[in-house]
Structures are given as C-alpha cells and as structure tokens.
Amino acid sequence: MSTGLYSPKRSTAAPRTRRRGMRAAASAFRAVLLIAGLCGSWTANTQTRPIVIGSKNFTESYLLAEMMAQVLEERGFEVRRRTGLGGTLVAFRALQSGEIDAYPEYTGTLAQAVLELEGELDETELNARLAPLGAELLPRLGFNNTYAIAVTGETASQLGLQRISDLADLPQLRFGFSHEFRDRADGWPGLQQRYALPQTSSGIEHGLAYLALLEGDIDVTDAYSTDGDLLKYDLRVLQDDLGFFPAYLAAPLARDDLDADVKAALAALTGRLDDEAMRTLNAEVVVEERTFAQVARSFLLAQGLVTSTETRAPTLWDTLARNTLTHLKLTAIAVLAACVVGVGLALLVYRSPTLSAGVLYVAGLLQTIPSIALLALMIPLAGVGQVPAIIALFLYSLLPIARNTITALITIDPLLQRVTQALGLSELEQLRHVYVPLALPHMLAGVRIAAVVSIGTATLAAFIGAGGLGEPIVTGLALNDTGLILQGAIPAALLALSAELLFEVLERRLVPRHLVSQPGT
C-alpha cells in the first residue's frame, strides 16, 4: 500500500488531483492574502504611515539608506527601515509595490538592470522613462560608484601613474581582473580598445584581487570607485581620462507619488558626497567597524544636516522585538494556512492511493525547489514583501502536513476501519470520532516539522523584503559581522525551540498518553 502511495507511476489521475489541489490551494492563497491584507491595513490605519526607506544588501546601500532615514527623522518624519533587499530587481519591485518609499540607486544600474537600455542617459531622460513605472530619481548625491582601475600606492608613485592612459606605455604590467569585469563589454574588452592597451589580463576572484595586488602577484586590477577597501589597502584609482566607464551616479530613487515634503527633505543630501567622501565613509564601516547609524550620524553632523548626536535609529531591543514579531507573523500565517489546506487535501484524497500519490508528488516537487529559488520565483508572481514570503513558506509546509496526515490515515488498523463502518458511523463521524483522533499524533508531528522548518526558512525571506529575523542575518552577511548575524540567528533558534515545546504541550493535551509514544508511529 505504502509503496503504491509514493510511486510516481501510479499518478495517472494526476491532472484531476492537481486541478482539485489547485482549487484548494488557490482558496488558501486567497485566505492568506486576506489575512496579510488585514494585517497590512491594520498597521496602516492605526498610525500615520511611516516613510519606508529600503536598501540593497551591500555596505554603501545600507549607509546611504541610513543617511536618508536620519535626514528625514531630523525633519520630523517617522521612518521605518527595510534594508538588505536581495538585489536591484527586488528593491525596484518593492518600490513599485509600495513596500518601500525610497532607496539609494545608481543611474547606470537603472539604465541597465531596470530599463534594460544600452548607453548612458542623463537624469531627465532617465526620469522620463521611470515615470511610467511609478518611480522618480531625485537629485544625485554627488559621487560616481563606477568601475575603476586600481594600483597600489607604491606602484603609482614609482611609475608616476595618474591616468588610465598612462598604462599604454607600460606593457610589462600584469593585469588581474574579476571574471565579471573581463566578460562585460563595458569592462576589460572595451577598456582595452578605448585606451589601446597592449597588455593581456588574467582572471581572479574579486575578493582576492586586492591581496594579490599587495603581494605583488598582479600590478593592476578593477575596483569599485567608492570601495572602502581602497583606503584600507592604500590603493590608487587611476583617472578615467577618456571617460570610458559608464556613470553610476548615486541618487535616492523614490516612488513618484511620495510626498513633496519628503522629496524636498531628501534633497538636503544633494551633492554632499564626492567619491573620496563616500570611500571614507564606507571604510569607516568596513575597516573601523562602526555601525551604519554611527557613521551616517557623524557625517550628517559634520555637514550640518542634523543637530544632535542622538539618532532615532531603533534600539537593539526595538529591532529585535519587531523582527521577531514579523517572523512569527510570517510563519504562523503560512503554517496555519498549510494546516487547513494540507489536512483538507489529505482528507479528500486519502481513500484513493492514486490521488494520494498525486498530492504527495506535487507537494514533494515543491519541496525540492531550493528555498532561495522559490522565493525568487515568487517575485514575478506575487511581488516582494511579506505576501510572497508567506506563500513560499506555505508551499514548503504543505508536504510534511499532507504526508503525515495521509500516512496516518491509511495506516489505521483495517479491523478498526471495518468495525467503525459496520457500527454505522457516517463518513464524517468516522473522521471526527475515530480517524482524526487516531491520526492526531502523526498530524501534530507534521505540523511541528512544518513550523520548525518554516521558522528557519523564513530567515531567507529578508532577501525579498519580508523583514523578520533574516534582516540582521542578511546585513551581517553583507558586512561579515558575526554579531549582527547572531542577532537574527539566536532569536530564530529560540523561536524554533519554543515551537518544539509548544507542540509537545499540545500533544500532551490532545492525545491520550498511550497513543503518544507508541514505537513506530
């Protein structure tokens, strides 16, 4: 029986299963959306909506977002930070869907990754194209974080290097470039052509390139012009005297319907940061290990953009409490919905081995999609933020719940099934009084697995802007900051443990003791 149950060969009626399953799943989705919507509107109605500032998950983006947030707070706006979004597309979708109101972006990135254009556009042209997408690029911050060509300070002074053109006369120099830079048209191939460089290049991991430079294994490498590591290792950036590299001018990108007051407040940052300043600030985070809030504060103070050293950035405990609550909300909604759908599906199909196999097959298939991929797949379907995260967690929770319920139901003693029928219990009474109570230990175990796994998986949801305990983990990963990672990992582990305990208590309450610890159940 059980071999038939899991055999994909038997799934000849799969289309019907799927259709029925899809319908149930669809209504569950609607329920989840409704609950999420209610949560959303509840928070929206009980307070004036705060301005949500987002960032991508690298140092400079976090830092700029923090500056934007502090400038707004200084001017009396309430700000919520939604940092660490897992990439340009995620951040842009979050902006479009209203999950965030503004985040720092770069002109080159907008042109290439969002608008998919080749060639450069000035801000007016960019904004003309962004307007239909509901976004507006605010005045630029000043610096240009583009590709740069870097050499050690020593090499620069020995050879008198200042401009990229100077390299043309030095064929003996060894070039080591990151793989991406060697492949991109706006990287090495174009550069070599424009400057008529005689050298060849070798490929090297970007993370190792600076060390190779310092060790003298290579003489020249590619870098980002505002990288804090340039200061850390005392590297020199050569001037792009022929203007080859496209501009990656940083500016706040905002929703075009954002309040004019807010846009005006953000404009205080216009032109305040040149390459050198940005590089220094990045280095303060990376090298001196100060927090984003501290670095942003001291810069804004020096610029006269804020007046006190007190930041209104949330305290550790505020952040912890908010992240934990969000995390709980994500997993609780997902697991509850999976209980309803998973148990419902199991009850519908368990009498038919073919249908059971179909349901478990589909649920198993969902389980094999790596969590980060499933989250990414959710973006085009459900956007970014909490809804797609909840849907993904829901899909993951289906299998353990459905599988355990089906297994428990089909392994009920055949004699008991016969007697239950013979005594004259209706199908509903059989389920209610006999099958479900007997299957309960198994079902609870399934829900327990789903809950614990969801709590773990939900940490990844921060990549698509769902918040939760993954937020400090993502930031910590970007900064290589173990302390920050633990701010997410420890509470997540404690949550998982609490879930285990909760289910132990539930099991003790709901299941007679002699049915709990039967071996093999």
Strand 201-203 versus strand 250-255 pairing type = unpaired
Which of 78/429 has CB closer to another protein? 429
Residues 388-417 touching another protein, rule: CB under 8 A, are 413, 415-416
How does DSSP classify residue 152? E
Of positions 514, 517, 519, 520, contacts another protein by CB under 8 A: 514
Please say whether the beta carbons of 472 and 482 come within 8 A: no
**In the bound complex, what is the minimum distance in angstroms from residue 443's beta carbon to another protein?**
13
Which of 369/412 has CB closer to another protein? 412
Of positions 37, 198, 380, 512, contacts another protein by CB under 8 A: 512
Rounded Cα–Cα distance for residues 28 and 390 (Å): 11
Which of 124/518 has CB closer to another protein? 518
**In the bound complex, what is the minimum distance in angstroms from residue 417's beta carbon to another protein?**
9
Nearest to 94 by CA among 65, 54, 66, 126: 54
**In the bound complex, what is the minimum distance in angstroms from residue 475's beta carbon to another protein?**
49
Which of 113/506 has CB closer to another protein? 506
Which of 370/520 has CB closer to another protein? 520
Task: Identify the three-state secondary structure at position 289.
Answer: coil
Please say whether the beta carbons of 252 and 269 come within 8 A: yes
Rounded Cα–Cα distance for residues 284 and 429 (Å): 68
Which of 119/414 has CB closer to another protein? 414
Rounded Cα–Cα distance for residues 477 and 457 (Å): 16
Which of 304/424 has CB closer to another protein? 424
Residue 425 binds another protein, judged by CB under 8 A: yes
Nearest to 458 by CA among 305, 330, 344: 330
Rounded Cα–Cα distance for residues 414 and 408 (Å): 12
**In the bound complex, what is the minimum distance in angstroms from residue 344's beta carbon to another protein?**
22
**In the bound complex, what is the minimum distance in angstroms from residue 436's beta carbon to another protein?**
10
Rounded Cα–Cα distance for residues 417 and 411 (Å): 10
CA dihedral 394, 396, 401, 404 (to 10 degrees): 170
Task: Identify the three-state secondary structure at position 84.
Answer: strand
**In the bound complex, what is the minimum distance in angstroms from residue 428's beta carbon to another protein?**
10
Residue 4 binds another protein, judged by CB under 8 A: no
Residue 422 binds another protein, judged by CB under 8 A: yes
**In the bound complex, what is the minimum distance in angstroms from residue 100's beta carbon to another protein?**
51
Rounded Cα–Cα distance for residues 518 and 38 (Å): 42
Please say whether the beta carbons of 461 and 392 come within 8 A: yes
**In the bound complex, what is the minimum distance in angstroms from residue 521's beta carbon to another protein?**
11
Which of 385/441 has CB closer to another protein? 441
Rounded Cα–Cα distance for residues 58 and 478 (Å): 6
β-partners of residue 249 are 144
Which of 13/410 has CB closer to another protein? 410
**In the bound complex, what is the minimum distance in angstroms from residue 392's beta carbon to another protein?**
36
Number of residues interacting with another protein: please give it, by CB under 8 A.
21
How does DSSP classify residue 439? H
Of positions 304, 424, 519, 520, contacts another protein by CB under 8 A: 424
Which H or E run contains 235?
Answer: strand 235-238
Residue 423 binds another protein, judged by CB under 8 A: yes
Neighbours of 21 (CB within 10 A): 22
Q: Which stretch binds another protein (CB under 8 A): 24-32, 119-127, 224-232, 508-516?
A: 508-516
Give the x/- contact pattern for another protein in 426-465, rule: CB under 8 A: x--x---xx--xx---------------------------
Query: Which residues are within 8 A (CB) of 210 and not within 5 positions of it... i.e. 6 or more apart?
Result: 221, 223, 229, 233, 235
Residues 17-76 touching another protein, rule: CB under 8 A, are none
Which of 19/432 has CB closer to another protein? 432
Question: Which residue ranges make up the site for another protein (CB under 8 A)?
Answer: 413, 415-416, 418-426, 429, 433-434, 437-438, 511-512, 514-515
